[in-house]
Amino acid sequence: MMARSAIVRSLPDALRQDFTGVLVATVVLVLVVGVRDTTFLQFGQLSQVLNQAAVVGVLACAMAYLLAMRELDLSVGSVLGLSALCGALLIRVGLHPWAAAVLCVAAGALLGLVNGVLVDLLRLPSIVATLATLSTYRGLTHRLSEGRQVLGAPLSDPFSKFFGWKLAGLGVNFWALAIVVTVLVLTLRNTPFGYRIRSIGSNPEAARFSGIPIRRVRLQVFVLAGVMGGVAGALTLGYFGVADPNAGSGYELQAIAAAVIGGTPLYGGRASVTGAALGAVLLEVVRTALAYFRIDINWNDFTTGAVILLAVGLASLLRRRTDVRPPL
């Protein structure tokens, strides 16, 4: 009886979690598709969905941090593509694949630093600065690759074999996302850095008055977003074994959508990293469901938009929040 009472008492808190809506929506959609075709519920198929959602999930986790500060980075998809290309080019000239993967992340960090410097020094809105670097980074990727795919490590290399390895039936990309989520959740909740991010997003003027170095924290968050773009680039290069000049195209909007439907508000002050990862999973389930229902792929954007509205609305109903904050 005591255990049942504890569960009942904890249920309202569980329903008020930022990511509850997207979690419920994902489970419902998986069951609906499973009723249509039971093969979708097979563990192998579900693990493939999780693995494919991981790259966008990594970007979405970084986007949740940015949204918590009322910032955006529209270049994360281009950072992914350029960092993956850098890794492939380094492998082609003889660098060890693991060293190239580390430099993928370093390249992402450098590109994120450029974004942060542009926002800070030029006083540009982040949406404007990163819209410019979105095109700049993508153009540089096409120029360096000459518009062609660049091969990475051969399939026989231990580096490539590692990314084909599975633990408990789940691929390396999924476990990488799990590590990213764990680290970023703990950082946001339990460190001064996370407290500063939330404080700046909640009330920038109060944060400035209390002595929080807003410019430095903003720069650090943009570098973090670049690092996550580099990680996503390394995962893409390792998983596919090739750097495509169009890799990551459109991922910035998917990352924003995943973060928002995962419970991260646009008015700042709060972030749901777990919800952002679940949002990426939901978007991948939607994409896969279209194939299972034999729906024309041209309906993909329409369906994704409908799912965003459903997930955000469901989250709002379940949380029943009493604090009403005006949007920016």
Residue 160 predicted with pLDDT over 70:
yes
Residue 3 predicted with pLDDT over 50:
no
How many whole angstroms separate alpha carbon 158 and alpha carbon 237?
Answer: 14
Percent of the chain with pLDDT over 90: 51
Residue 10 predicted with pLDDT over 60:
no
**pLDDT category of residue 299 using cuts at 50, 70 and 90:** confident
pTM of the model: 0.88
Low-confidence winner among 12-26, 60-74, 210-224 (lowest mean pLDDT): 12-26
Low-confidence winner among 127-136, 225-234, 253-262 (lowest mean pLDDT): 253-262
Instruction: Please report the sign of the dihedral spanned by the C-alpha atoms of residue 200, residue 204, residue 209, residue 212.
Output: positive
How many whole angstroms separate alpha carbon 201 and alpha carbon 227?
Answer: 21
What's the Cα-to-Cα distance from 248 to each of 39, 223, 237, 240, 255, rounded to whole Å? 29, 18, 11, 13, 11
Mind listing the pLDDT tens digit for each residue in 62-74? Answer: 999 999 999 999 9
**pLDDT category of residue 88 using cuts at 50, 70 and 90:** very high
Residue 118 predicted with pLDDT over 50:
yes
**pLDDT category of residue 7 using cuts at 50, 70 and 90:** very low
Low-confidence winner among 2-6, 29-33, 111-115, 276-280 (lowest mean pLDDT): 2-6
Output the pLDDT for position 304: 72
DSSP state, residue 268: S
Domains belonging to the chain, first-starting first, are 18-318 (1.10.3470)
In the predicted model, what is the mean pLDDT of residues 137-152?
Answer: 91
Q: What does 184-237 look like in DSSP terms, one character per residue? A: HHHHHHHSHHHHHHHHHHH-HHHHHHTT--HHHHHHHHHHHHHHHHHHHHHHHH
Low-confidence winner among 196-205, 223-232, 288-297 (lowest mean pLDDT): 288-297
Output the pLDDT for position 74: 94
